[in-house]
Chains A and B, each alone.
Chain A
Amino acid sequence: MAPNALIEIVNVGFQYVGAEKVALKNISLSIQKGEVVAIVGHNGSGKSTLCKMLNALLMPAEGTVRVDGMDTCDEKNLLEIRRRVGMVFQNPDNQLVTTIVEEDVGFGPENLGVKPSEIRVRVDEALKEVEMTEYAEKASHALSGGQKQRVAIAGLLAMQPEVLVLDEATAMLDPRGREEVLSTVKKLNRERGMTVVMITQFMEEALGADRVFVLSEGRLVMEGTPKEVFNERTLLEESRLDAPAFVKLRDELIAAGLPVSHEAMTCDALAEELGRALKS
């Protein structure tokens, strides 16, 4: 096992009961401590299935998944794995359990049997981290989508995880909510060294990752830095994925002869390059 690997996935295969196709075939990848990793893929590519293996919601039919050395198939590891790998789901409503925000944030520690006074401390800290302290005593159903997801994140932070997994957690949010969630997660990675795994179909979200894994039809077809992955245009197309709009523009400009670097992937980077190219 690689020295810093927090999560190791080796030759994992899976098929849902009664399904025609195999959901996952021969997936091997490892996630290092402190990394921000994006797992992208079209609908049905297996990314959701793979995601659920990270915290033992699903067990691989073939191969192994290890979290911090612990095999997810071993029942006695279950609670510890789920404590360390916190998962945020897509539907903001369907992961809030109780009526009041701070009660919900305390749900995880309560399950772990943490001392009541300690739970209080953790809840207050977690709410502060996600900037939802003023909402502590408010009703959970009345929050916006972005706020609900942040409360969900706080609920995970209160369990003191090592990895935060976002299972398309921004898919149902408006742009503001998406921004809130992504900046919260990036902050946690930056300031706390939290390992982050983002499952997404929005290429723009993968831009901020350290590494990107591309799934297609249940297989791992590509892995690399965002730059490397987005340069493989044909492979992306075959995987039914869209490169980010600015990357597509950049490639069009390069093909037309403009001296724009292959490194540019964002609006500002592209503007920089074009500024140099067009003013000279």
Chain B
Amino acid sequence: MTANISLGQYLPGNSVVHRLDPRTKIFLMALYIAIVFVVKSLVVFLLPVVLLVAMFLFAQVPASYFFSALKPMKWLLVFMFVINLFATQGTTLWIDWKFIHITQEAVEQAVYITLRLVLLVAGTSILTLTTSPIALTDGLEKLMSPLRKLRFPAHELAMMMTIALRFIPTLMEETDRIQKAQMARGADFESGNIFQRAKSMIPVLVPLFVSAFRRADELAMAMESRCYHGGEGRTRMRELHFHWRDLFATLLLTAVLVGIILLENLPL
């Protein structure tokens, strides 16, 4: 009984964001990332924050996912904030006590960098929350397909991703089984220094690798039996189509990006 771990945690739903074409969402993420990096001043920073809140609302994703996306990062965020607070040079001193000198610029830097990280992590999580892994690989395959003219193996890569995603839970279960079998033989994965612990993984990794190769062999045979012969002539049951909402969302975010660039660079 393994916990159900879905990579990136896809949250099924029917919101407008869910229904956007995955290619659109990938492109919107790129725009969003650009926005997060282009903002420089405090007031303009509000725009991506509002954007993030709007994304969560439109995607109908509960706020708890915002916190769980950031949880693994919490110490990194604290670290970034503190480092920048003390390491940045500045002119306007705010705190001057014994050896602690904190300037206004340092505070700004620390806040902006931390905020950028938060916006990035939380914002990109929307992509994986609203897009199933298959839709993502489909979208990526479609986006990469023009590159096939340049001999880029877009289809093969997409197929690899699909198969990898499919086997992750299976391989995790197998790892668990193998670990238990070796533990029953007295294997100890917990004690010892880092070298000892790495070595103790050999009885798990070797069988896992051998098994993975065998699986690949059998899977290849099964795929060939089902007439798989590469990407040539292949159709897809689920076709990707653009709708008005894709165009609208793209225009909206492009406008925000352009707007921010102007706001940051025009003297106001």
Query: Which residues of A approach B to under 8 Å, CB–CB?
Result: 55, 57, 79, 82-83, 86-87, 89, 91, 93-100, 102-103, 106-116, 119-120, 123, 139-142, 152, 155-156, 159
Contact = CB atoms under 8 A, between A and B. Distances in A.
A139 B163 contact: no
Nearest to B174: A93
Contacts, number: 98
B162 A82 contact: no
5 contacts: A79-B229, A110-B236, A111-B226, A111-B229, A141-B166
Interface stretch (B88-96, B183-191, B216-224): B216-224
B134 A103 contact: yes
B134 A113 contact: no
Interface residues of B, number: 31
Given A57-B221, A89-B218, A111 B227 contact: yes
Contacts of B245: none
B123 interface: no
Given A110-B234, A110-B237, A159 B226 contact: yes
Nearest to B159: A97
Main secondary structure on A side of the interface with B? helix
B235 interface: yes
B49 to A, nearest CB: 34
A55 B173 CA distance: 32
A120 B162 contact: no
Contact of B237 (A91, A106, A156): A106
B225 A97 contact: no
A119 B238 CA distance: 9
Contact of B165 (A86, A99, A107, A123): A99
A94 B227 contact: no
Contacts of A108: 226-227
A133 to B, nearest CB: 16
